[in-house]
Amino acid sequence: MKPPRTKPPRVRSLRTAAGALAATGALLLSAACSGGPGTRAGGPEAAAPSATGSPAASPAATAAPPPASRGGAPALRGSYVALGDSYTSGPRIPPQHGTPEGCERSGRNYPALVARALRVPAADFRDVSCSGAVIADLASPQGVPGGANPAQFSALSPRTALVTVGIGGNDVGFIQVLTRCVQAGVMRGLGLGGGSAAPCRDSYTPAGLGLLQRRIDTAGRDLEAALGEVRRRAPHARVLVLGYPELVPASGAGTACSSLMGLAPGDVAFLHDHERRLDAALRRAAGAAGARYVDTRTPSRGRDACSPAAVRWIEPLSPASAAAPVHPNARGERGMADAVLRSLGAPDGPG
């Protein structure tokens, strides 16, 4: 399923409420199929490699994108394998390439930019990220439109020198939470949801909030175990775990998050905190497994989906740039690539 390209209707009256809710639900749930911070079986995310994993299908074998950092970084000795979901694969960012098509891999996603900056030969670059991937898909084939993406671990070998891992959002049901919050915000705007500034947060019982936290904790444990398998298969590799960039700011950001994301002011903070806790779990998992955590949250501040189109890294419900709803655009993928390169000691900051 592909995120729809039409904009959701603007809510003007009670008569249009059902249509607006259906449209926002369609946008978010189909974006979930593409993979944002956590979907599929209950989360927002997705994206991956060629079914065969052949070098010819990798972004490095297509028209080369510009370097992510102007100063570059020392050339990598060995292969580079990129594992992850849609925040890694870059759905709808042209050029899309590789098989199966349902992985929605972009030749301008952060793995492609990192590979170019490190001067990785096409034969040594394996981008096996896939839209909608959950942590279990690292070890098992993932069915997507157009075929099946092989287990992402299959790209690893003792020759692997660098591994980047960007996954976990789809395991925690983030898109479902976001959908619920958008619907609550629309109802509040129609005067149907009561006077709460955070109707979505308030709709969760203590048990429901506890379930959200348990999903995050479970994703952290599962990632830690998966990183152990990465180490077993690629014992000489540097392993980097990427957190998710900010989807929404820490507060309501005036009317921007209401108009662009349909969120009530208090629910902006609620979603921000939910994503922050997911990133914290990913950081803990990386540390426990001896991997390096790459913070993309800090450099993305002020560049969230509620920010002006000229600076944002993440597109809102109706994208202004070529990208899936609530997913990184080309600017966001470049920012994530720069964060990886800084972590590897590249001399420059964001390019």
Q: Mind telling me the catalytic residues?
A: 86, 327
| Cα(347)–Cα(340) distance, integer angstroms | 12
Which run of H or of E encompasses 175? helix 174-189
Contact assessment for residue 234 and residue 156, using Cβ atoms and an 8 Å cutoff: yes
Instruction: Please tell me what DSSP assigns to residue 221.
Output: H
| Cα(172)–Cα(313) distance, integer angstroms | 22
Is the peptide bond between 100 and the residue preceding it cis, with omega within 30 degrees of 0?
Answer: yes
Dihedral angle over CA of 116, 296, 49, 30, nearest 10: -140
What backbone torsions phi and psi does residue 294 show, to the nearest 5 degrees?
-110, 115
CA quadruple 189, 190, 192, 195: dihedral sign? positive
CA quadruple 244, 140, 48, 25: dihedral sign? negative
Dihedral angle over CA of 179, 130, 167, 21, nearest 10: 0
Q: Which of 60, 63, 103, 56 is nearest to 83 (CA)?
A: 103
The CA radius of gyration of the chain, in Å to the nearest whole number, is 19
Three-state secondary structure call for residue 161: strand
Which pair of structure tokens corresponds to residue 329?
A: 């655009």
Token pair 């069915």 is at which residue?
A: 143
